[in-house]
């Protein structure tokens, strides 16, 4: 999963990036951030593995993003390859109303997609006359629908049907990507911030990026706790950003456990056991036999796979099984 960190120049992207990536990432613009997963600890106690591995989300600051009042075309084309957008709004300096920044970003995403569709529709209408074998009426119809949504100044992420249609996937529409807005407020305003209503594919969090970056630099857990209490901040920006990214992307976590490794994996909600197998290794997917599955709640009752098996709560699931959050899965496969 790749998230692009965008926002106007000076909005606090670098500060937020450092808060997410930690002090080790100094000078970098790309970081793999480990997803906090509290279920790994009890799992590790039961399996005593050599290694504990947490799933990761990639965050990349798209640097030099446009001017002080726009993202600009380079950024708009660069973000096509990402799964999710994290957009920082300057709500600390008072230079530009953050709600205006938000609507400007939304508009730029919309206009960018309109440009892509316009070009493709032109091409399709030429094909219709001169190269009939290339002409695809289904794609044309979908693009016309997408265009009409955009013309009402609505981002494509509002239409789940258009976003998930396989024939539109290749266009990598930027207004179709889930977007998390980080309202970067000054530390004194943390309390009185009211985020706007959530809409489909759009989330909001309130951070003070500079403060969070400072907190990420504190090594001593006790000092950090004191700092947090002092400011009245419950959880770090990292935890909140990741939790929101997860829900925006519709991700769930499944777990694998053995004496070598205990590990968490991020999976799209609604994915099958076969999809989950493919995430681990294509060989496991190809040679899939079954998924021995233990629900998290059942693990907590026995904290032991053998015992769970004796009690009959270890389920044998096939390829089609829809994985649930917290499932502990052992894949059986042929190579």
CB 110 to ligand GDP: min, Å: 22
Eight-class DSSP state of 285: H
> 29, exposed or middle or buried, with CB in 10 Å at 0-12, 13-18, 19+?
middle
Residue from 14, 70, 145, 159 touching Mg ion (CB under 5 A): that is 14
- Choosing from 3, 4, 7, 254, the residue that interacts with ligand GDP (CB under 6 A) is 7
CB of 41 to ligand GDP, least distance (A): 32
Residue closest to Mg ion, measured at CB: 14
Determine, following the binding rule CB under 6 A, whether residue 190 of this chain makes contact with ligand GDP.
Answer: no
Binding region for ligand GDP (CB under 6 A) out of 146-154, 205-213, 240-248, 327-335? 205-213
- Could you give phi then psi for residue 10, rounded to 5 degrees? 85, 5
Rounded alpha-carbon distances, angstroms, from residue 188 to 58, 76, 207, 212, 231: 30, 33, 11, 13, 9
Binding partner of residue 210 among ligand GDP, Mg ion, none, CB under 5 to 8 Å per kind?
A: ligand GDP
Identified binder of ligand GDP from the candidate list 13, 204, 244, 263, rule CB under 6 A: 13
Cα 196 from Cα 204, distance rounded (Å): 7
Cβ pair 114, 209 in contact under 8 A: no
Q: How many residues line the site for ligand GDP (CB under 6 A)? A: 14
Which of ligand GDP, Mg ion, none does residue 9 bind to, with CB < 5 to 8 Å depending on kind?
A: ligand GDP
71 binds ligand GDP (CB under 6 A): no
CB of 205 to ligand GDP, least distance (A): 13
Return the residue of 96, 210, 243, 280 that touches ligand GDP, per CB under 6 A: 210
* Choice from 101, 208, 264, 271 touching ligand GDP (CB under 6 A): 208
Nearer to ligand GDP, 105 or 291 (CB): 105
Asked if 201 interacts with ligand GDP (CB under 6 A), we say no
- Closest CB 35 distance from ligand GDP, rounded Å: 23
Q: The tokens 């009890």 sit on which residue? A: 42
List C-alpha distances in Å: 178 to 45, 201, 244, 249, 333.
Answer: 36, 5, 10, 7, 35
DSSP string for 133-188 = GG--HHHHHHHHHHHHHHHTT--GGG-HHHHH-HHHHTT--GGGS-EEEEEEE-GG
d(CA 155, CA 114): 10
The label of the residue with tokens 């920044």 reads: 101
Q: Which residues of 276-295 are buried (b: 16+ CB within 10 A; e: fewer)?
A: bbbbbeeebbeebebbbbbb
Could you say whether residue 59 binds ligand GDP (CB under 6 A)? no
Does residue 285 bind ligand GDP (CB under 6 A)? no
**Rounded Cα–Cα distance for residues 229 and 271 (Å):** 40
Q: How many residues belong to the site for Mg ion (CB under 5 A)?
A: 2
- Compute the least distance from the CB of residue 13 to ligand GDP, in Å: 3
Check binding of 14 to ligand GDP (CB under 6 A). Answer: yes
Residue 37 lies near ligand GDP (rule: CB under 6 A) = no
Applying CB under 6 A, does 186 fall inside the site for ligand GDP? yes
CA distance 292 to 327: 10
Kindly report the number of other CB atoms within 10 A of residue 243's CB atom. 15
In the complex, the smallest distance separating the C-beta of residue 21 from Mg ion, rounded to whole angstroms, is 13
70 lies in the site for ligand GDP, by CB under 6 A = no
* 245 near ligand GDP (CB under 6 A): no
Contacts with ligand GDP by CB under 6 A lie at 7, 9-15, 92, 184, 186, 208-210
């Amino acid at each position: 999963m790749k998230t692009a960190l965008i926002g106007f120049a000076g909005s606090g992207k670098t500060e937020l990036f450092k808060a997410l990536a930690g002090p080790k990432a100094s000078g970098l613009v790309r970081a793999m951030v480990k997803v906090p997963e509290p279920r790994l600890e009890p799992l590790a106690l039961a399996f005593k593995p050599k290694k504990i591995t947490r799933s990761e989300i990639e965050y990349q600051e798209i640097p030099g993003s446009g001017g002080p009042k726009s993202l600009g075309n380079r950024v708009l084309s660069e973000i096509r390859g990402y799964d999710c957008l994290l957009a920082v709004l300057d709500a600390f300096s008072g230079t530009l109303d953050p709600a205006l920044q938000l609507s400007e970003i939304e508009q730029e995403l919309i206009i960018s997609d309109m440009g892509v569709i316009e070009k493709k529709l032109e091409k399709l209408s030429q094909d219709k006359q001169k190269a009939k074998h290339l002409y695809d009426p289904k794609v044309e119809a979908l693009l016309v629908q997408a265009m009409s949504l955009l013309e009402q100044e609505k981002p494509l992420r509002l239409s789940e049907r258009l976003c998930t249609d396989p024939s539109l996937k290749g266009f990598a529409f930027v207004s179709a990507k889930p977007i998390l807005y980080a309202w970067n407020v000054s530390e004194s305003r943390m309390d009185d911030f009211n985020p706007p209503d959530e809409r489909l594919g759009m989330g909001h969090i309130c951070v003070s990026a500079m403060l969070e970056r400072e907190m990420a630099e504190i090594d001593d857990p006790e000092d950090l706790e004191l700092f947090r209490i002092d400011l009245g901040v419950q959880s770090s920006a990292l935890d909140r950003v990741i939790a929101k990214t997860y829900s925006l992307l519709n991700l769930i976590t499944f777990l694998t456990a053995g004496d070598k490794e205990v590990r968490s994996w991020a999976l799209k909600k609604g994915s099958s056991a076969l999809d989950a197998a493919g995430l681990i290794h294509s060989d496991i997917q190809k040679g899939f036999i079954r998924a021995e599955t233990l629900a998290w709640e059942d693990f907590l009752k026995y904290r032991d796979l053998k015992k769970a098996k004796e009690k009959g709560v270890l389920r044998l699931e096939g390829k089609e099984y829809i994985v649930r959050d917290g499932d502990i899965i052992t894949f059986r496969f042929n190579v």
